[in-house]
Each structure stands twice: as structure tokens, then as C-alpha cells.
Amino acid sequence: MEISMFGPLLVRDGERVLGPRDLGGVKPRHVLELLLLARGHRVWTDMMATALWSESKEPRNVVATINTYVCVLRHSMFDDQAQARRVIVTEPGAYRIALEEVDLDLDRFDNLVLRAERAPRQERLELLTAAVGLSSGPLLEDARYDEWAQEDRLVYEDRTTRAHLNLALDWLVEGERTACLRHAELALRRDRYSEEAYRLVMLANHGLGRQDAVRRAMGRCRDLLSRELGVACDPETERLLNAINVHTPESDIIQAFYPTALTGPVTAGVLDVA
């Protein structure tokens, strides 16, 4: 069974595909999402109750209600109820997902980016391209307004942004400025305050001979940071613009600003979270 958590929740079992509306209702779907976010660890029923209801709206018998949701979920997902109990496992006072029974896109994403951190550049490009291909949408898109999903969503937004930034830099070193520009702009879609992404946009346009685009990118960066955050650009960003303005060769700029990029591994771990 394959389960996708990037974008809308999707469950694939052979030719059978279940979307967010096919899981027995909103609360059973939330139960599944909570179990998936726990990545195989137990989720206690009182923790589920905190996520599913405010105190004023809790049902009289919380445990019985959650048990009912799990039953509905199992019958919605599986024709074979023995398989259902193997995948959604009942523990004393808790439930968990048996990860050995499930192919989860988050696990594949994490595996790809971990392998990429020590891989040679060409292999790293392939691994990170596969990773960002998995993360085409926000984590659990249908639960975007639910507080319990926010921390995990931010973690994977950060990891995906970092993957795009690392791809942009690697493509720049490979001389593929258009690919660099595309991934830098994709990083900005996820984190519009990323000065690193703006710097890579500027470098890619510099390599493409688009000096007007370099200046526009710097203007976008300055205006956004000043208007919305009340801060100036980082001195490193201003220094990069100065190097471009005096026609410093692209390879010299890369060497100065990304000294390990030409010989070393990716500049920062994709799974690093501040």
C-alpha cells in the first residue's frame, strides 16, 4: 500500500485509489493523518482527542468515539479486515501505523535527501530532483488549517526549500544557469524571504548575461525585506551585487561565495532544521 502525504492525502492499494473524501469522513481522515505523522510511533487516544476537538466540544466518551473512527477508517481503506488490523495497529490506549506495511512518500523523500548529502554532484542532482518531485504540494494539503499539522508542514517546507536551493547551486556549478534559476525561483515560492534564493537568482541571471534581471531581483529583495520585515538586505547579498556590477567572472564569484561548491558536498544538509 502506498500513501502520499505531500499534497492531498492519497492511499493507493493496487488499482484502488482513495482520496481525502474516501476515508469515512473528516474525523477518520484526521485520525489517519495523525497516525501517519507519528511515523510508526504510538499515538495515545488522549493525544488524538486534543488534536481532534477543543475541550468544549469533546464527545462524552472520547475513547469510544475514536475507536469508532478507527473502525470506519479500516473499513474505508481495506476490503480485508485482517490486513486493516495489520496496518492500523491497536495498542493498549493507543494506535499506530505499521510502517513495514506502508510505502510512505515522506520516508522516500527523507531517504533521498539523506543520500544526497554525501553523494557526488551528478548523483546528488538525480537524488534531489527525485525528492522535490515527490514534494510537489504542501504536506497534508487538506489539513492546512489544522493546528496539529502545522509543525510538520513547516519542517517539510523548509526541507523542500533547502533541496531546491542545493539543486540551484549544483546546476549553477554545472553551467546550467536556466535550471539554477528555475530551482531558485521555486525556493522563493516556498520561502519568499530567502536571500540565498535571491542570490542564486542574481547569479544565474548574471551568467545568462541578463544584468537588468539581476538588478530587478535585487530590487525585489530589498523592497520585500524593507516593506514586510523592516530590515535591509544581508551585507553578503549587497557584496554579491557589487561583484556582479564590476563584472567579476562567474567562476570567481562562485569560488568566493560558495567555496566548497566546486569540490565538496552539498553546502547544507537538506534535513537540517533551524
Q: What is the spatial distance between Cα 255 and Cα 209, in angstroms, rounded to a whole number?
A: 19
* Res 261: pLDDT: 76
CATH architecture for the domain at 105-257: Alpha Horseshoe (1.25)
User: In CATH terms, are 2-101 and 105-257 the same topology?
Assistant: no
Say which residue the cell 513547516 belongs to. Answer: 154
pLDDT of residue 41 exceeding 80, the answer is yes
- For strand 103-104 and strand 94-97, is the pairing parallel, antiparallel, or unpaired? unpaired
Query: What would the pLDDT profile of 113-129 be if each residue is shown by its tens digit?
Result: 999 998 999 999 999 99
C-alpha cell at 139: 504536506
Say which residue the cell 468515539 belongs to. Answer: 65
CATH for 2-101, options being 3.10.28.10, 1.10.357.10, 3.40.190.10, 1.10.10.10? 1.10.10.10
Query: What would the pLDDT profile of 99-113 be if each residue is shown by its tens digit?
Result: 999 999 999 999 999
Query: What would the pLDDT profile of 128-160 be if each residue is shown by its tens digit?
Result: 999 999 998 899 998 888 889 999 999 999 999
Burial zone of 192 (CB within 10 Å; 0-12 exposed, 13-18 middle, 19+ buried): middle
- Quote the radius of gyration of the chain (alpha carbons, Å): 23
Query: What would the pLDDT profile of 194-224 be if each residue is shown by its tens digit?
Result: 999 999 999 999 999 999 999 999 999 999 9
**Quick one: residue 53, left, alpha or beta (phi over 0 = left, psi -120 to 50 = alpha)?**
beta
- For strand 103-104 and strand 2-4, is the pairing parallel, antiparallel, or unpaired? parallel
Please state whether the predicted TM-score (pTM) of the whole model is above 0.85.
yes
pLDDT over 70, % of the chain: 95
Residue ranges of domains in the chain: 2-101, 105-257
Q: What is the spatial distance between Cα 34 and Cα 23, in angstroms, rounded to a whole number?
A: 14
Kindly write down the DSSP assignment for every residue of the chain, as one continuous string. -EEE-BSS-EEEETTEEE-GGGSSSHHHHHHHHHHHHTTTS-EEHHHHHHHH--GGG--SSHHHHHHHHHHHHHHHH-S-HHHHHHHEEEETTEEEE-GGG-EEHHHHHHHHHHHHTTS-HHHHHHHHHHHHHH--S-BTGGGTT-GGGHHHHHHHHHHHHHHHHHHHHHHHHTT-HHHHHHHHHHHHHH-TT-HHHHHHHHHHHHHTT-HHHHHHHHHHHHHHIIIII--PPPHHHHHHHHHHHTT--HHHHHHHH-TTTTTSS-SS-TT---
- Are the CB atoms for 71 and 120 separated by under 8 Å? no
Q: What is the spatial distance between Cα 35 and Cα 227, in angstroms, rounded to a whole number?
A: 41
Across residues 10-15, what is the average pLDDT? Answer: 91
Cβ-proximal residues to 50 (8 Å cutoff; 6+ apart), any chain: 148
- Are the CB atoms for 36 and 29 separated by under 8 Å? no
Say which residue the cell 517546507 belongs to. Answer: 157
- Are the CB atoms for 183 and 167 separated by under 8 Å? yes
